[in-house]
Amino acid sequence: MDLVFFGIQGSGKGTQAKRIAAELGYDIFEAGGELRKIAASGSELGKTVKSYIDAGHLVPHEIIMQVVKEAIGARSKSQKILFDGIPRDLDQMRDFDAIMRDADREFRAIHFLLSAEEGLKRILGRAKQEGRADDADESIIRRRMDLFETKTMPVIDRYKAAGKVVEIDANRSVDDIYGDLKAAVKKD
């Protein structure tokens, strides 16, 4: 069973992803990280992708869907995948579900719950460590958080209605969150 992680910026899902992937053998597909790699390549595509990331907008649908489709196609059925940062809106959800169905892959979604206020505080701290331009500008972080509320929450709500979502309170220590995460994943 694959995993799909949701959480507002600063919810700590990336940290949890690395830890559970290392312990239980998932490959991580981090949408933002994959797109940042493309942006850094300097190609024409990279320049386009970078302009969206720097502005805090979603990268165009076809680009991200192509990237995730290739990532899934490159892995064997037995390799579990942890998706972080996709699907981000209902259009991506529609295509993501179709790709997963075609690949005969099932997934459980995890939603790391955190207030926008707390997320913003954490992310401004992170920007100093990682040097990400889109994490350093408060107005761009707020735009990304608005996108999460308006575009991504409807995705989570639909998966929730389908019984696919486990919610985890992310306003706690890394270890406490991880304990709940592991329990949720091991229910398979």
Nearer to ligand AMP, 12 or 32 (CB): 32
Residues 74-103: x/- map of binding to ligand AMP (CB under 6 A)?
-----------xx-x---x-----------
Smallest separation (angstroms) from ligand AMP to the CB of 121? 16
- What CA–CA distance (Å, rounded) separates 140 from 145? 9
Across-strand partners of 4? 83, 109
- Given 35, 81, 100, 110, the residue binding ligand AMP (CB under 6 A): 35
Best CA proximity match to 36, nearest among 112, 115, 135, 109: 135
Best CA proximity match to 83, nearest among 104, 98, 94, 69: 69
- Given 56, 81, 145, 178, the residue binding ligand AMP (CB under 6 A): 56
53 binds ligand AMP (CB under 6 A): yes
Smallest separation (angstroms) from ligand AMP to the CB of 1? 21
Nearer to ligand AMP, 33 or 179 (CB): 33
E strands within 31-158? 81-84, 107-113
Best CA proximity match to 93, nearest among 122, 126, 118, 64: 64
The residue of the chain with the least Cβ separation from ligand AMP equals: 32
64 binds ligand AMP (CB under 6 A): yes
- What CA–CA distance (Å, rounded) separates 169 from 69? 31
3-state secondary structure of 56: coil
| Positions in the binding site for ligand AMP (CB under 6 A) | 9, 31-32, 35, 52-53, 56-59, 64, 85-86, 88, 92, 134, 144
